[in-house]
């Protein structure tokens, strides 16, 4: 049975990080704060890391995996260019493409050409025979990592860049010269995280709904996608890691695997009963099928999460 959809809902304890910032006000760096509503309907303002940041981290891990396992990458993605295939002139200026070429053909060729454009999504807006706007939806979706209100705090720390010569004097010009002072935030807390992976859609043309690549390379790409999501938690990249590398203290949650058209359910750890609710929801959904189609794998720590993800990546029926 092919794996069609996967959901991961968890709570990551991260201490003293500054992974995601809004910008600076004067010499104070501001961290990202968001408003959320808990399961009782009460509003809270909490620190958060955006889904864009998490997806960027995952895409970087998939890029590294693709290089190592020689999965295809377009010319732009070989350099991890954020413009992806739109910046690959060998593709956009391919003389085979004319203004009569259907969008579905161009999308199919893009999927064959590049693992990152396939898995991470792209809006192809280049002039290819004529002006085009062809959307490729991502096969992986990240929500914000949101601080659980009563378990998250942000503080601001005072920093000075010391300069031995002329100590105590800034340049006064706003340039990074002389002795500068600044404030930088550090957040610590338990963060609720949600994400989905859609193996079913890897290599599938969004227009024709047919597969642009064969089962064997699809299997290899899905494996890469699963490993890159796992590595997102093993090494969390992001801002300010040179001096504020996050302390990942714990990671627990639930992984749901669906082998049918039933979607893997997702419930945020902002609700303290999320794991019990996910399990109970899957039990109810499984009543619709002769064979159970949804499997819930709980994990209590990073090692158990890694074990489940490695087991998943090792399955040989991911693309069947």
Provide the binding-site residues for Zn ion, judged by CB under 5 A: 74, 77, 84-85, 114, 116-117
Q: How far is the CB of 84 from Zn ion (least distance, A)?
A: 4
CB under 8 Å to 298, separation ≥6 — which residues? 252, 253, 254, 255, 275, 279
Q: How far is the CB of 116 from Zn ion (least distance, A)?
A: 5
92 vs 266, beta carbon nearer Zn ion: 92
Can you tell me the distance from the alpha carbon of 186 to that of 116, in angstroms, rounded to the nearest whole number? Answer: 32
Q: How far is the CB of 74 from Zn ion (least distance, A)?
A: 3
62 vs 255, beta carbon nearer Zn ion: 62
Contact 179, 160 (CB under 8 A): yes
DSSP code, position 137: -
Q: Which residues pair with 258 in a beta bridge?
A: 5, 294
Q: How far is the CB of 54 from Zn ion (least distance, A)?
A: 20
114 vs 226, beta carbon nearer Zn ion: 114
Q: How far is the CB of 225 from Zn ion (least distance, A)?
A: 14
Residue 23 CB neighbour total at 10 angstroms: 7
Can you tell me the distance from the alpha carbon of 147 to that of 320, in angstroms, rounded to the nearest whole number? Answer: 38
3-class SS at 158? strand
114 vs 255, beta carbon nearer Zn ion: 114
Q: How far is the CB of 175 from Zn ion (least distance, A)?
A: 38
Contact 60, 80 (CB under 8 A): yes
Can you tell me the distance from the alpha carbon of 305 to that of 311, in angstroms, rounded to the nearest whole number? Answer: 10
DSSP code, position 12: E
72 vs 238, beta carbon nearer Zn ion: 72
92 vs 223, beta carbon nearer Zn ion: 92
Q: How many residues does the chain have?
A: 320
């Amino acid at each position: 049975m092919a794996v069609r959809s996967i959901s991961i809902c968890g709570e990551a304890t991260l201490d003293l990080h500054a992974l995601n910032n809004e910008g600076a006000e004067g010499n104070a760096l501001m961290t990202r704060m968001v408003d959320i509503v808990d399961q009782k309907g009460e509003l809270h303002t909490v620190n958060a890391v955006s889904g864009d940041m998490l997806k960027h981290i995952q895409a970087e891990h998939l890029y590294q995996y693709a290089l190592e396992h020689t999965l295809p990458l377009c010319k732009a993605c070989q350099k991890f260019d954020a413009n992806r295939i739109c910046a690959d002139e060998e593709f956009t200026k391919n003389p085979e493409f004319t203004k009569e070429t259907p969008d579905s053909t161009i999308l199919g060729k893009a999927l064959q050409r590049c693992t990152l454009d396939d898995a991470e999504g792209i809006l192809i807006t280049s002039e290819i025979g004529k002006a085009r706007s062809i959307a490729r939806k991502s096969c992986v979706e990240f929500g914000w990592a949101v601080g659980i209100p009563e378990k998250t705090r942000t503080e601001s720390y005072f920093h000075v860049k010391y300069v031995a010569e002329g100590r105590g004097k800034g340049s006064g010009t706003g340039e990074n010269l002389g002795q500068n002072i600044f404030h930088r935030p550090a957040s610590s807390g338990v963060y609720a995280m949600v994400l989905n992976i859609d193996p079913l859609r890897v290599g599938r043309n969004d227009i024709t709904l047919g597969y642009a690549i064969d089962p064997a390379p699809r299997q290899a790409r899905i494996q890469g996608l699963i490993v890159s999501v796992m590595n997102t938690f093993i090494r969390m990249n992001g801002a300010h890691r040179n001096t504020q590398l996050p302390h990942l203290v714990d990671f627990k949650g639930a992984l749901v695997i669906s082998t049918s058209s039933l979607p893997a359910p997702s419930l945020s750890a902002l609700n303290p009963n999320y794991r019990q609710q996910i399990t109970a929801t899957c039990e109810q959904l499984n009543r619709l099928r002769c064979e159970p189609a949804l499997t819930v794998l709980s994990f209590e720590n990073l090692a158990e999460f890694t074990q489940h993800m490695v087991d998943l990546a090792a399955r040989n029926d991911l693309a069947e």
